Amino acid sequence: MTSRIADAQRRSLHEPEAFWGEAAREIDWYEAPEQVLDASNAPFYRWFRGGKLNTCHNALDRHADGPRGEQAALIYDSPVTNQVRKYSFRELRDLTARFAGVLAAHGVGRGDRVIVYMPMIPEAVIAMLACARLGAVHSVVFGGFAAPELATRIDDAQPTLIVSASCGIESTRVIPYKPLLDEALSLAKHRPRACIIKQRPQISAELAMGRDFDWDSETARVAAQPCVPVDATDPLYILYTSGTTGQPKGVVRDNGGHAVAMQWTMRHFYNVAPGEVFWAASDVGWVVGHSYIVYAPLINGNTTVLYEGKPVGTPDAGAFWRVIAQHRVCSLFTAPTAFRAIKKEDPEGKLLRGHDLSCLRALFLAGERSDPATLAWAETQLKVPVVDHWWQTETGWAIVGNCLGIEPLPVKHGSPTVAVPGWDVRVLDDAGHEVPAGTTGSLVAKLPLPPGTLSTLWNADERFLDAYLREFPGFYKTADAGYIDADGYVYVMARTDDIINVAGHRLSTGAMEEVLAGHPDVAECAVFGMADDLKGEVPLGLLVLRDGARHGAERVVSEVVQRVRDTIGPVAAFKHALVVKRLPKTRSGKILRGTMKKIADGQPYKLPATIDDPSVLDEIAVALRPLTDALKPRA
């Protein structure tokens, strides 16, 4: 590890109050924190106790009232509606202050919850910031979520008000939101005071008298609201993530630690200076959208891009290159699955060549494991650093990654590099003991976690302890498995439940996927364990071939089986692979390996609420049937 990053890591772990106290000076405070780190109620650590601030002020007002007032704060780029609109910091502040007036007029105040159920339109960002302006707690639910999932979140968060829109728009269809919201409200026990609906031109939603109110009409009749000072330890938002019990977990993020971490990461991790254009190609319904579409870029004085489109199909696999060139994006942050989709449709990168990407300095990938083949393809095509980094909804920002703003490290494909300052990452065995370098185990982070991470789960402190802290006392359990090499590079191989046991050998499905993805004809792949009477589990690989693949399915399957044997060894018992048209994914791009495993094992499964297209599971079941029938034990 080189000197500057090593020094930053040492200071962050051994002098955390000095390190983060210095970072906190970049944030505007109404009252400075009395204590940087409060450990009096461990493991419920709190950052910046006694400080008072407002996150919306830090994101908008301090720029709007200064020299950045006319700088673009938000670029709304919507290929599905053929629109591009830019909002200056001053304009975005004024719109947000006015919508905060709408919320206040309907009884929303400090500490009240507001559910935001919106597509990727500027009003979604405005609603989030308006909540922060009043000290209210927003809970963004991914637009298009099924009604039962929305109802569950309504009952858990118990919002004073819900903000929604008449519809969302995808490349081939318009999705009415209001019927989903109406059904959710009929299912939920909790009744909000009102719903504010943004009517879009594509669909005009029917409003229920006395409960539903039109966004535009309401904003026209209220006065703008000022920022409300809140405690640093007050919650900024609740973001639900799937729970193993079927009851979503409401991750709680505070105001003070979050603002400090967002500011720090933009400068020191992403290496983006105020005034530059940053694009996180995600959705505001996911944690990446919260952190790096909305809060971090705006707090840092950047222009952020809100993209209502897809990496392919709006209109083609050159969509990302058009946005980068048109808006002069300096850094792009997206999921590996987006680049796999682009690579599949345009493997030679022909669509890239018509765009001037000289503005782009770096590509950041996160959300799912970045296979080395995709990472190398991106490096070759873009000719800029490609930074794989690892983090989670719970953490809010990177646990492991290459800090371009401190000192870039040499890249090792397959590793997101080393722990980011503030994070003390270890690998433990099942008994909680540290394992030697190169040994796979449970990846954990030593407490206290740095600022900006989850403080607890909404109304569920005991569940917070059970889910993350009790299995390995003194550590946060990431539920990811991997290892750390002799140089301190972290390798995140799979979720702990994706480590399969083949005849007593613990094997990483991620390591096998890495081998499969290295085949030149493979665009995407997934490996999961399938029940086997003799060995307990055996691995099964599903392959999606790239467009224009040189060889047919049979030859590719034969070659990838041999590649696993040659690379990992016969111990992997990798003998079965199938070519499929597509893999089932969530709308954020995560592959549903656990669901496919249940299909292969003939077990019942619940249709994931976040699945992008449920019909793909039927395709997978049909594709698996001949193999699973052949492998069934004979009487």
Q: Is 618 exposed, middle or buried (0-12, 13-18, 19+ CB in 10 A)?
A: exposed
Going by the DSSP 8-state scheme, the letter that residue 168 receives in this structure is E
| Residue-averaged pLDDT of the chain | 92
Distance CA 166, CA 160 (A): 20
Domain ranges within the chain, ordered by starting residue: 3-110+237-309+389-482, 503-631
User: Are β-strands 277-280 and 167-169 bridged in parallel, bridged antiparallel, or unpaired?
Assistant: unpaired
User: Scanning the structure block, which residue is given the tokens 């400075």?
Assistant: 32
E runs forming strands in 436-517 = 441-446, 456-457, 475-484, 490-495, 499-502, 505-508
Distance CA 195, CA 205 (A): 12
**Which pLDDT value is given to residue 244?**
45
**Which pLDDT value is given to residue 367?**
82
Lowest mean per-residue pLDDT among 172-181, 415-424, 443-452, 502-511: 502-511
- Asked if pLDDT for residue 506 goes beyond 70, the answer is no
pLDDT-derived band of residue 634, with 50, 70 and 90 as boundaries? very low
**Which pLDDT value is given to residue 564?**
87
Contact 186, 218 (CB under 8 A): no
Q: What is the dihedral of CA 288, 144, 114, 135, to 10 degrees?
A: 20
**Which pLDDT value is given to residue 1?**
45
Tokens linked to 372: 């080395």
**Which pLDDT value is given to residue 497?**
64
Tokens linked to 508: 């990483």
Q: What architecture is the 3-110+237-309+389-482 domain classified under in CATH?
A: 3-Layer(aba) Sandwich (3.40)
Distance CA 426, CA 475 (A): 9
For residue 203, how many other CB atoms are within 10 A of its CB?
A: 16
Tokens linked to 39: 């450990």
User: Are β-strands 83-88 and 137-140 bridged in parallel, bridged antiparallel, or unpaired?
Assistant: unpaired
pLDDT-derived band of residue 613, with 50, 70 and 90 as boundaries? confident
Distances (CA, A) of 273 to 41, 56, 194: 37, 20, 40
Helices (H) and strands (E) in the chain, counts: 20, 30
Q: State the Cα angle at 41 between 38 and 45, rounded to 5°.
A: 50
**Which pLDDT value is given to residue 89?**
98
Same-fold call for 3-110+237-309+389-482 versus 503-631: no
Beta bridge partners of 334: 365
- Asked if pLDDT for residue 101 goes beyond 70, the answer is yes
Distance CA 28, CA 259 (A): 10
Percent of the chain residues past pLDDT 90, beyond the cut: 76
192-237 per-position pLDDT tens digit: 999 999 999 999 999 999 999 999 999 999 999 999 999 999 999 9
What is the CA 456 to chain-centroid distance, rounded?
A: 18
Radius of gyration of the chain (CA): 24
- Asked if pLDDT for residue 461 goes beyond 60, the answer is yes
Closest CA to 602 of 532, 552, 555: 532
Amino acid sitting at position 525:
C
17-66 per-position pLDDT tens digit: 999 999 999 999 999 999 999 999 999 999 999 999 999 999 999 999 99
Yes or no: is domain 503-631 CATH 3.40.50.300?
A: no
User: Scanning the structure block, which residue is given the tokens 């609420």?
Assistant: 609
Tokens linked to 605: 């499964």
**Which pLDDT value is given to residue 78?**
97
Tokens linked to 234: 């007050």
Question: 513-517 long-range contacts, Cβ below 8 Å, gap at least 24?
Answer: 513/369, 513/371, 513/541, 514/371, 514/372, 514/414, 515/560, 515/563, 515/564, 515/567, 515/568, 516/541, 516/543, 516/560, 516/563, 516/564, 516/577, 517/371, 517/372, 517/373, 517/374
- Asked if pLDDT for residue 191 goes beyond 70, the answer is yes
**Which pLDDT value is given to residue 245?**
45
Distance CA 33, CA 189 (A): 39
E runs forming strands in 242-321 = 249-254, 277-280, 303-307
Tokens linked to 584: 């089932």
| Residue that wins the pLDDT comparison between 437 and 241 | 437
Q: What is the pTM of this model?
A: 0.85
User: Are β-strands 277-280 and 303-307 bridged in parallel, bridged antiparallel, or unpaired?
Assistant: parallel
**Which pLDDT value is given to residue 190?**
97
Q: What's the whole-number mean pLDDT along residues 357-380?
A: 91
Lowest mean per-residue pLDDT among 71-85, 347-361, 609-623: 609-623
**Which pLDDT value is given to residue 538?**
85
